Structure 1
Amino acid sequence: MRVLKSLESDLEIPQVDLLTLLFDPKWGDAEDDTVLHVEAANPRNTVTKSEARDLVQRIAYVLRNNYGIGASESGRDIVLATSCGNPMIPVVFYSIVAAGGVYSGASTAFRPAELVRQMKDAGGDLRLLMCSAEYEQSTVQAAKLCGFPLDQILVLDYSTPKQWTLRTSDRKDALKLGQGQRMDWERITDLKKLETTTTCLLYSSGTTGLPKGVRLSQWSLVANCVCTMYVGKRFKAQSKNSFKFSTIGHLPMANVAGISLYSCNPFYLGGTVYWMDSFDFDRFLDYQRQFKPSYQFSVPPIWLRIAKSPKVTDQFDSLQVAVTGSAPIGKETMQEARQKLGKGKAFLSQTWGTTETAGVIAALDWRVDDKSWSVGTLCPNITMRILDENDNDVADPSRDPGEFLIGGPILAEGYHNNDKANRETFVDGWYRTGDIGVYKDGLVYIMDRKKELIKFKGNQVAPAELEALLTSHPKIEDAGVIGIWNREQETELPQAWVVRRQGSNDTPISEQEILDFVKENVSGYKQLRGGIVWVDEIPKSASGKILRKELKARAEELKAKL
């Protein structure tokens, strides 16, 4: 077995639970009066570290004593939350963990049917639904479809600064049920318990199929803070305090970035997240100018728009560090964007990570301008193997591409209620990423994705979900879905290959009918923006699996003919 290690020395990871790591001044850089979270649209709506601690203990008391969260055992009871970006949602996350529960974020783009699917996947462990007011109607509708008790729904109201509430179904303030009493979280120092106590259930499409629930433990998130924020800690120290972490929060709390970047970074690096309720490019630019953040992570389509838009002038002048991730992007595009970042002097970095690794696996040093545009070096304490198609270690990792397998303390516990996926993906202590590449001079280079997952502007689209929907239509015989790369938008677009049902007296289904059908049933980012191709048969293997590589090859041929 050939095991590749980080160029960085292993770090000592504190053997403590996540909330102790975040709130104990021994580990994090935030002071009690540090403003951690701010509503960008209403900057008076803020929460400091000391206020967050008070709220966490009050909310945790109510969750435990009035809703039974964590009463039987820690890391089992699931609380599913659908919320726009706001300073209260990370506090709710901390509170659920403090009560001994499991936070599960749902996409704000979900239709009720999609929310129902996630509720059903949680199974009997689902205890409570929470949502911001904008999503109350869809949450109630999903609960009714599932037969879930409506009195087990809490609505977040963060609209009045310093007077946040959790509203019950009968419009009462649930926080008042606690009568001001507080509950402290359990301090965990036993390594085995840290590794097996779940904090989050986040959904990822993994390597194949429908979205899978990824269970992130106390230990994986603690390790993620220490090992992957090491670059930020070092940069901050070497900048002699000229760098203070602050960022515009525009990614959802259903995403691992919302947990690691927006919920943990403010404590661990000591700084502020300015929350957008939803992403809007013009408002994003305004907030950059207004709040002058020092750090910004975003996804390729947004960096592309920054690079190309004439609207972008001096809005990003304060930026010291710009990081891209979630999907590939050309170095030329990022260099074009860089000219508008920090007056052309911002450090430009690329990162690589997954939900199954609690976030980042590899990252570029913020001090180094990497001419080769790799995804960086492995973070401390992280190991990697590169396997060929026969699951043997490649002969030369610097020249022979293979699948990356990751090991280390950042790994998730596994998938929720999915033994088959666990057996296929988590093997002998290693996580099979599905990403193909090489490892040269200590740097990781991703060349292709073995995953069938389509990434549209940072959002994950599972082909199997769209295929199941399409083939449910009475006028469709079969369908295969692939992602096709759009150079102008720097993203993949879902494209459907469709076999019309034969022998029907009805008029054959049209492209517009299919587009309308998909629009009615799934979220906006899952739409068939790559178009529809009519075929007589979907190519499949002897075992019945769709041969997506063949479809992609045909798509390239069609593109070449245009």
Structure 2
Amino acid sequence: MSTEFRAPPSTTALHIPDIPDDLSLPQFFLDYSHPARPLRPSGVPWLIEDGTGRAIGFDELRLRTASLANALSIKWNIIENDVVCVFSPNHVDYIVCIHATHRLGAIVTPANPGYTADELVHQLETTKAALVLVYADFLPTALAAAKLVGLSEDRIVVIEPSAASPFNGKHETLSSLVSLGSSKPQNFVERKLRPGEAKTKVAFYSFSSGTTGKPKAVVIPHYAFTANILQTAAHHGLNDPSVKKKQLNPGDVSVAGTLSCFDNIPAEIGAVLPFFHIYGLVVVLHYMLFAGLSLVVIPKFNFTEFLESIVKYKITHLCLVPPQIVLLCKHPAVKNYDLSHVKWCISGAAPLSGAILKSVRKVLPNAAIGQGYGMTETVTTVAFMSARQKMGVVGSAGQIIPGNIARVVRPDGTLCKEGEQGELLITGPSMALGYLNNEQATKETFVDGWVRTGDEVVIRNFELFVVDRLKEIIKVKGFQVAPAELEGHLLTHPAVADACVVGIADDYSGEVPLAFIVLRADILKRVAANPREGEKLKAALKKHVADNKIAYKRLTGGVHFIDAIPKNPSGKILRRVLETRRSNCQQSSVLPNCRA
């Protein structure tokens, strides 16, 4: 049996499209018509501004990009290898900021607008950013961070002023720069890359969503970015005549939203598919536009308003993360909206249980539903639900996309065969170059052309099953317990809004599972009013697991109610944030920010 895993033969019959190795991202995206790119019908907009309904086409995007690039050159002499930080939620000009920076040969570092000043300082210092483009609402944080790193205030550009923001008129705005750039002769010469140079020419310093230590800057070249777009296009058969009923078609409508504040849902599950995260940056922003879809851009929204936008704009394609999928299954407002026009729904960034996958089928009855898998270090997509599937295989994160090669490795370094469990290693044309100024971390993750994902997986019948993070596996009497499995099961209980399972030390078993539970708002009120109700519910949740799981997977470590499960912007649980609370669980039933 093979010890290396590739895409199924059915998806590689037309081989991977040629990947240009002499084009920057904007040159590939705005100047070049690749044969794998579907033809966008006339009148189909590229972007739609959610709040106003304003449609933005190719000509406007291309002109704004050229004008902003010219202004950045005139005003600050931004040149090759300078770094520009984009500190903003999703916005229709986000892609303009990216491509304008790249026109000058400079590097983009997207930053989470939810950062504190100290967190932003880390990113600005690591990348040595020369300019910050900031959404007005986050200007105070940008100014505080800029002061700490010695970046002058005149190098802070406001993307969009607003009446509610603290913008004081002292800074250049994106609109004023576009006007300046369009009124002046071109001040720069855009460089043509040499053959092969795109493989090393840096496009992004994207920060990884690690759960320990400070985030690391992943060095992403232009070639890797365009490669992943073309690999995914081949996987979906965008221009493949053998795929009769395509999942993505020019003229379809997708959506991008960020900084969500869901009704009665903890804010920690917000920031769904933001452009600063690799999933939103590659798959949602660039790949969907490449495929010919229109993209509805939502800077800020709550869940019910998100549902309204899906209906208003007849959004057909949803790229979600598990917290949103759970809301679709459980939020009472969903029944008020007709979502029958949705024809494609993909969940990524964290494992989704089979039970929840089946539940969302009832909410989106006409949609192809499945999962994808990727990471910043692989410049997103490693695996995707097959273009020929209406429903992804339960528990599968999809099939390896064309061009990628996977290995599954045992702890002793030997290679697993099909169906055996081990750590996933990936290689292919879209791998990042390493971590910026972090040689040790680079050596640990990027090994002889392979990326060590740190994920425990099984590959069977071309399907990738992510068991869990290696360092998050709970060992009970020598048996491995995957937290994601128990979390998915707990989410099927009607009282549970969110869940996180961790292991706590036990003298007899080594470790035992402990569940942190976020209750639905109505249930929480009942429990707060009557502590006995809380104890009954804890017993019911333990029984919910015990009735359906083998003995060593039972919640022997207990159940604790908590206000919110800490998560990163892509929806991955930050288990390490719960480490101190976990140790407290062994001493007290009452936790900080918990309801016992």
Task: Judge same fold: TM > 0.5, yes or no.
Answer: yes
Counterpart residue number, 1:35? 45
Kindly provide the amino acid, as one letter, of the partner of residue 239 in structure 1.
K
Task: Give, in whole Å, the separation in 2 of the partners of 1:280 and 1:536.
Answer: 33
* Change in CA separation of 1:245 and 1:420 when aligned onto 2, cut-off 3 Å: farther
Task: Give, in whole Å, the separation in 2 of the partners of 1:170 and 1:50.
Answer: 24
Counterpart residue number, 2:409? 387
Say whether the 8 Å CA contact 1:207–1:451 is kept in structure 2.
no
Task: Give, in whole Å, the separation in 1 of the partners of 2:176 and 2:582.
Answer: 53
Of 252, 258, 271, 2:293 maps to 271
Superposed displacement of residue 330, structure 1? 1.2
Counterpart residue number, 2:199? 195
Of 307, 317, 325, 2:348 maps to 325
Say whether the 8 Å CA contact 2:25–2:225 is kept in structure 1.
yes
Say whether the 8 Å CA contact 2:136–2:161 is kept in structure 1.
no
TM normalised by structure 2 equals 0.72
Q: CA RMSD in A?
A: 3.6
TM normalised by structure 1 equals 0.76
Kindly provide the amino acid, as one letter, of the partner of residue 321 in structure 1.
W
Superposed displacement of residue 492, structure 1? 3.7
1:460-479 equivalences in 2 (<5 Å): none
Counterpart residue number, 1:86? 91
Of 15, 18, 36, 2:25 maps to 18
Say whether the 8 Å CA contact 1:300–1:491 is kept in structure 2.
no
Counterpart residue number, 1:50? 59
Of 449, 453, 460, 1:433 maps to 453
Counterpart residue number, 2:400? 378
Task: Give, in whole Å, the separation in 1 of the partners of 2:504 and 2:86.
Answer: 31
Superposed displacement of residue 489, structure 1? 3.8
Superposed displacement of residue 242, structure 1? 6.5
5+ residue gaps, structure 2, are: 258-272, 474-482, 506-561, 590-595
Aligned residue-pair number = 476
Counterpart residue number, 2:523? none
Of 440, 444, 455, 1:424 maps to 444
Task: Give, in whole Å, the separation in 2 of the partners of 1:227 and 1:349.
Answer: 18
Kindly provide the amino acid, as one letter, of the partner of residue 141 in structure 1.
A
Counterpart residue number, 2:418? 397
Counterpart residue number, 2:133? 130
Counterpart residue number, 1:501? none
Task: Give, in whole Å, the separation in 2 of the partners of 1:304 and 1:69.
Answer: 44
Task: Give, in whole Å, the separation in 2 of the partners of 1:234 and 1:218.
Answer: 22
Of 121, 124, 142, 2:126 maps to 121
Say whether the 8 Å CA contact 2:456–2:469 is kept in structure 1.
yes
Kindly provide the amino acid, as one letter, of the partner of residue 245 in structure 2.
S
* Change in CA separation of 1:31 and 1:144 when aligned onto 2, cut-off 3 Å: farther
Of 397, 407, 410, 2:427 maps to 407
Kindly provide the amino acid, as one letter, of the partner of residue 208 in structure 2.
S
5+ residue gaps, structure 1, are: 454-481, 498-514, 539-553, 556-561
* Change in CA separation of 1:364 and 1:170 when aligned onto 2, cut-off 3 Å: closer
* Change in CA separation of 1:493 and 1:447 when aligned onto 2, cut-off 3 Å: closer
- 384-393 or 258-267, which deviates more: 258-267
* 1:218 to 2:222 alignment: yes
* Change in CA separation of 1:491 and 1:419 when aligned onto 2, cut-off 3 Å: farther
1:301-316 equivalences in 2 (<5 Å): 301-313=323-335, 314-316=337-339
Superposed displacement of residue 152, structure 1? 1.0
Say whether the 8 Å CA contact 1:58–1:181 is kept in structure 2.
no
Superposed displacement of residue 444, structure 1? 1.1
Kindly provide the amino acid, as one letter, of the partner of residue 4 in structure 1.
F
Kindly provide the amino acid, as one letter, of the partner of residue 194 in structure 1.
A
Of 138, 144, 149, 1:141 maps to 144
Kindly provide the amino acid, as one letter, of the partner of residue 367 in structure 1.
R
Say whether the 8 Å CA contact 1:495–1:531 is kept in structure 2.
no
SS at match of 1:332: helix
* 1:345 to 2:345 alignment: no
* Change in CA separation of 1:168 and 1:81 when aligned onto 2, cut-off 3 Å: farther
Task: Give, in whole Å, the separation in 2 of the partners of 1:332 and 1:229.
Answer: 29
Superposed displacement of residue 32, structure 1? 7.5
Kindly provide the amino acid, as one letter, of the partner of residue 234 in structure 1.
L
CA-to-partner distance for each residue in 1:220-257, whole Å, 9 max, x for gaps?
01101100233444389633796633212012121012
